[in-house]
Amino acid sequence: MARTIAAFLVLLVFLALVPASLGAVWLDRQLLTTDRYVESVAPLFERPELRDDLVEVVSTRVNQLVVTTMAAQNSITVRLLFQQLGNAVDVERQITAVVRSFVESEQFDTMWRDANRAAHPAVVAAFAGRPGPTIGIQGNEVVLDLTPVLARLRQDTSTTVGMLLNLAIPADATLTYTVLDTRHTPRIEWVVRQSGTLAIAVPAAAWAACILYLLLARRRLRALWWAGLGTTLVALGSYALADRWLQNRLDGVSDPASARLATSYTAALLKPLERASLWLAVSAFVVALVAGILALRTQPRYR
């Protein structure tokens, strides 16, 4: 009886360590590794709705700079260029077209990746719950520094709108793009500090608990069936919790563009965790199925 109780308790420990192992490996290999972080979030701008949001953000900022420059400097050249392009609506439309053309170029892809790479320390600091580097965090938000985009827009003077932007965009103008709200990120400072150790120790402890459970069990095949079934349920639960947490980030967000922005980075980062959870669930189910079939076939038959 004592051996059965001990095996049951070890099984519970093993099942508790399964989602902890998934989280520890995901944190160390995905969130805290700069190259994998960039590879996960960099393709986001290829999504049409997010690209449109980005074009809108950049275009709005450029139009504000043009209006501010006209009001502050009272430059005759800037006003003449503005008049050549038409009215305010025409100027805004042409500026948006220039911005969209650049955002869809390969040069912007490089800038986007560099900006995400530079912002990664701020993302890590947000999860660690400690003050991050000056660049990358503004208030409660993690932002990308897209100031090089403004510098690139000032370089093309081959067109009228290009000359307008060259004169209207100040050399010290800045442009940022919010990607994460730190108020919605869990504070896991100790886990972040020990991520490398935990990514090895927690899965190792899970394997040790599984082996100990099988050694304590009197019927190994039946024990393997229970372990496989439990792992399947826990892995599916981990997937459901990650998806639910992502959906909760939409609560209270009325603007669709803001909702997409609030969830896009988190979704990209959670995708490997969800994929690993599903893979583990399928693998564990196969193990449970095979163990169950073998247990039934080897069960003593009584006449």
CA distance 45 to 222: 49
pLDDT in tens, 202-260: 999 999 999 999 988 888 888 899 999 999 999 888 888 877 766 655 444 444 555 56
The structural domains of the chain, with segments of one domain joined by +, span 2-31+194-294, 42-184
CA distance 271 to 265: 10
What pLDDT, on the 0 to 100 scale, is given for residue 279? 92
Whole-structure pTM over 0.85, yes or no?
no
What pLDDT, on the 0 to 100 scale, is given for residue 258? 52
Please answer whether residues 62 and 99 qualify as being in contact, where contact means their C-beta atoms are separated by less than 8 angstroms: yes
The answer to whether residue 47 scores a pLDDT higher than 50 is yes
Please answer whether residues 179 and 54 qualify as being in contact, where contact means their C-beta atoms are separated by less than 8 angstroms: no
pLDDT in tens, 137-154: 566 677 788 888 888 888
What is the chain's mean pLDDT, rounded? 80
Mean pLDDT for 279-285 is 92
What pLDDT, on the 0 to 100 scale, is given for residue 186? 66
Task: Give the residue with greater pLDDT, 56 vs 83.
Answer: 56
Task: Give the residue with greater pLDDT, 78 vs 221.
Answer: 221
The CA-CA-CA angle for residues 275, 17, 124, to 5°, reads: 60
Among 94-103, 166-175, 193-202, the minimum mean pLDDT is found in: 166-175
pLDDT in tens, 176-186: 877 776 666 66
The answer to whether residue 171 scores a pLDDT higher than 70 is yes
Strand partners, 137: 142
pLDDT in tens, 96-139: 888 888 888 888 888 889 988 988 888 888 777 655 544 455 66
Phi/psi at 180 (nearest 5 deg)?
A: -145, 140
Torsion angle, alpha carbons of 205, 207, 211, 216, to 10: 50
